[in-house]
Amino acid sequence: MKTTLYGIKSCDTVRKARRYLDEHGIEYRFHDFRADGLSPARVDDWLRQLEPEALLNRRSTSWRQLTEAQRADLSPAAVKALVLDNPTLIKRPVLELGHRIEVGFSPERYQTLLGS
> According to the model, what pLDDT value does residue 4 have?
96
- Phi/psi class of residue 110: alpha, beta or left (left: φ > 0; alpha: ψ in -120 to 50)? alpha
Q: Is the dihedral of CA 14, 43, 113, 103 positive or negative?
A: positive
> According to the model, what pLDDT value does residue 116 have?
66
> According to the model, what pLDDT value does residue 76 have?
95
Domain ranges within the chain, ordered by starting residue? 3-114
- pLDDT, one tens digit per residue, over 8-45 is 999 999 999 999 999 999 999 999 998 999 999 999 99
- Enclosing H/E stretch for 5: strand 3-7
Q: Integer distance in angstroms from the first to the last C-alpha of the chain? A: 14
Domain 3-114: which CATH class?
A: alpha beta
Angle between helices 40-49 and 76-85 (to 10 degrees): 140
- pLDDT, one tens digit per residue, over 51-97 is 999 999 999 899 999 999 999 999 999 999 999 999 999 999 999 99
- What residue type is assigned to position 77 of the chain? A
The answer to pTM > 0.85 is yes
Which residues participate in catalysis according to the annotation? Answer: 11
Cβ partners under 8 Å of residue 54, min gap 6:
91, 103
